[in-house]
Amino acid sequence: MSFAIRIHKTGGPEVLHWEEVAVGDPAPGQARVRHAAVGLNFIDTYHRSGLYPLPLPSGLGLEGAGVVEAVGEGVSDLRVGDRVAYAGGPVGAYSQQRCLPADRLLKLPERIGFDTAAAMMLQGLTSAYLLRRTCRVQAGDTVLIHAAAGGVGLIACQWAAALGATVIGTVSNEEKAALAHAHGCAHVIRYDREDVAVRVREITGGEGVAVVYDGVGRDTFMASLDSLRPLGMMVSFGNASGPVPPVDLLLLSQKGSLFLTRPTLAHYTARRADLEALGNELFDVVADGRVKVEVHQRYALADAACAHRDLEARRTTGSTILVP
Ligand SMILES: NC(=O)c1ccc[n+]([C@@H]2O[C@H](COP(=O)([O-])OP(=O)(O)OC[C@H]3O[C@@H](n4cnc5c(N)ncnc54)[C@H](OP(=O)(O)O)[C@@H]3O)[C@@H](O)[C@H]2O)c1
**DSSP code per residue over 79-102:** -TT-EEEEESSSS--SBSEEEEEG
What are 90-118's pLDDT values in tens digits? 999 999 999 999 999 999 999 999 999 99
**Tens digit of pLDDT for each residue in 219-269?**
999 999 999 999 999 999 999 999 999 999 999 999 999 999 999 999 999
Cα separation of 218 and 90, whole Å?
27
Which ligand 1 atom is at minimum distance from the Cα of 129?
A: 3
Q: Is the pLDDT of residue 137 over 90?
A: yes
Question: Which residues have CB under 8 Å from 230's CB, separation 6+?
Answer: 208, 256, 257, 258
Whether the Cβ atoms of residue 84 and residue 103 lie closer than 8 Å to each other: no
**pTM for this prediction:** 0.98
Taking residue 169's Cβ as centre, other Cβ atoms within 10 Å add up to 31
Query: Which atom in ligand 1 lies closest to the alpha carbon of residue 46?
Result: 47
Confidence of residue 21 (pLDDT cuts 50, 70, 90): very high
d(CA 45, CA 10): 10
Give the mean pLDDT of the chain: 98
Q: Which atom of ligand 1 is nearest to the CA of 152?
A: 16
Would you say the CB of residue 215 lies under 6 angstroms from ligand 1? yes
> Quick check: 89 pLDDT over 90?
no
Q: Is the CB of 157 under 6 A from ligand 1?
A: no
Q: Residue 28 Cα, ligand 1 centroid: separation in angstroms?
A: 36
CA distance 84 to 80: 11
- Give the span between the Cα atoms of 168 and 117, in whole angstroms: 27
Look up residue 247 and give its DSSP letter. Answer: -
- Cβ–ligand 1 distance for 237 under 6 Å, the answer yes
- pLDDT band at 216, cuts 50/70/90? very high
| Ligand 1 geometric centre to CA of 253 (Å) | 28
Q: How far is the CA of 272 from the centre of ligand 1 (A)?
A: 27
Provide the pLDDT for residue 1.
81
Q: What share of the chain is helix, strand, coil (3-state, %, to 5)?
A: 35, 30, 40
CB-based burial of residue 223 (10 Å sphere; 0-12 exposed, 13-18 middle, 19+ buried)?
buried
